[in-house]
Structure 1
Amino acid sequence: MTDSCAVQKLYEICKEILSPEEVVPPPSDIARLKAVLDAIKPIDVGLQGNERVSSGNEEERLFYSNLGAHKRQRVSRGTALIASPQSSHPPPVTYVHIHECDSFSMGIFCLSKSAVIPLHDHPGMTVFSKVLYGSMHVAAYDWDDQHHHTQHFCGMRLAKLKVDCIYNASSGSSVLYPTSAGNIHCFTALTSCAVLDVISPPYADGDPSYYALHPYLDLSRTWEELIDYKECQDFVWLEEIEKPHNFKVEGQIYTGPIINVI
């Protein structure tokens, strides 16, 4: 597959199977799109992709060893990794826009080491993602829909951890759905990295919603009414907040092969 036909093939299959009506494609079509996305290399979209990439196990060991002992407890493991950028000058995040239409958008987020894309949602969207180079930690949550008596607390909603792992270029593509598989997520760059996103349908009204996270056990005195202690460790309270003032995404010109729009 040549550089130009790789991104063209991705565009064409997105055009074929994705809809502006927030309709999730059938599993067979999702598998087809993921297979094409898995074949995309940095050079196919105009990136060099020559940044240092450590082994996943070493990255995870170093990342978690840098957390305080209280943050390494399983009850808050996911929470410790998804805070908004704390520095007034956090590492940069850039976005390379490739294409957008009524049905989907294609673009690349490029993160410097330690950069964070804070916890945000994808309402009504199906999102396909592929790390092109480097590695990142992903923490992702879904709204809880089982424990109705405790779903809301002081303006916050109960959510459950769905993904807490490290992705790199060898991980393959991932997909999240409008109400499942981690629709609310955060990225933390362990090395300089880039992730190619296909979002269907694209955001219609600008930014997503952003969230602050509060550990479940820190705020609830009646967790026994929800579930047993072991299961409780994966629950958190999410509070909608304004976009973090120190999180900024700068645009970058797409330099990859031109897509033949059909």
Structure 2
Amino acid sequence: MMPCDSNMTSIVQRIARQALLTFRSPPRIGEEASKSFLENHSKLKSLMTEVRAADLHLVPRRASDSPPAVPVPPPVTYMHICETDQFSMGVFLLKSGASIPLHDHPGMHGMLKVMYGKVRISCFDRLQRSPQAAQPGALRRSVLRSTAEYTEDSDPCVLSPDRDNLHQIDAVDGPTAFMDILAPPYDPDDGRDCHYYRLLTDAEEGEHTEQREQKEKEVWLMEISQPPEFWCGGEPYPGPEVSL
């Protein structure tokens, strides 16, 4: 049997192996990243830049495509590719007009690459760490770092425990799909549960607006329960098998 070289290995497999290398010992919150981590992270980002929908055997969908035979199809579905203690990898598919609400990634790194369609991503950071347990209604002083649109030709969107850790993802001009890596995976038992937020309007901020410095893009986020209009279903992943 001939040895399997990098040219014969699927890019999905190569991404998974690189993610395993990158996130086996990632920097924690407030820690400076090592040279090794930065080099591996750069290699992972380069691979994610290359991957396309065809590599995952994904066929771009249209707004007119018939929904699954369920009473109310979910606005978002997820294709699981693989998961280890270090990272999870999969594909999110958003219907036309769907959104993944503003949410966080506690202590996690992440990388998102659009496979087809277009998404608008708004990235936020908390300005202060709260010693209190998270609970609906709690206010978080935050800053809007960026709002940008991404397509399959865009570089990946990257988050870390300290930067762009909260984001909202909106499908723009039709259905869209993106490949997603999170490291480590969500795990409520290990303090990595997903929390949802709502951006307060100027009127809602009220007295809080007067108590903060008047810096552009500084905002207040209110923690909320998972919005009832958002839920995520599952779909089988059609692409190349990944083994780790």
Q: After TM superposition, is the score higher than 0.5?
A: yes
Structure 1 distance, partners of 2:7, 2:59, is 15
Among 160, 182, 187, the residue aligned to 1:177:
160
**Number of equivalent positions:** 214
With over 3 angstroms needed to count, the CA separation of the structure-2 counterparts of 1:11 and 1:100, relative to structure 1, is: same
Aligned twin of 2:225:
242
- Pairwise mapping of residues 116-195 of structure 1 onto structure 2 (< 5 A)? 116-145=99-128, 155-180=138-163, 182-190=164-172, 191-195=174-178
- Asked if residue 213 in structure 1 is aligned to residue 224 in structure 2, the reply is no
Q: Secondary structure at the match of 2:10?
A: helix
**Secondary structure at 1:27 match in 2:** helix
Asked if the contact 2:74–2:233 (Cα under 8 Å) also holds between the matched residues in 1, the reply is: no
Q: TM-score, normalised by structure 1?
A: 0.73
Name 1:57's counterpart in structure 2. Answer: none
Q: Give 5+ residue unaligned stretches, structure 2.
A: 1-5, 64-71, 130-136
SS at match of 1:134: strand
Deviations 1:28-68 (A, max 9, x none): 2211100011111111112023659xxxxxxxxxxxxxxxx
Output the CA distance in 1 between the equivalents of 2:226 and 2:75.
16
Q: What's the CA shift for 1:155? A: 3.3
Percent sequence identity is: 32
Counterpart of 1:46 in structure 2: which amino acid? H
Unaligned runs of at least 5 residues, structure 1: 53-88, 147-153
Tell me what 1:81 maps to. none
Q: Counting helix residues as a fraction of each chain, which structure ranks higher? A: 1
TM-score by length of 2: 0.79
Q: CA deviation at 1:227?
A: 2.8
Deviation at 1:2, TM superposition (A): 6.6
* Distance (Å, rounded) in 1 between the aligned partners of 2:106 and 2:11: 29
Which residue of 1 is the match for residue 96 of structure 2? 113
Q: 1:1-262 to 2 correspondence within 5 Å? A: 5-19=10-24, 23=28, 26-49=37-60, 92-145=75-128, 155-180=138-163, 182-190=164-172, 191-205=174-188, 208-216=194-202, 218-221=204-207, 223=209, 226-228=212-214, 231-232=215-216, 234-261=217-244
Aligned to 1:80: none
Determine the C-alpha separation between the residues in 1 that align with 2:19 and 2:161. Answer: 17
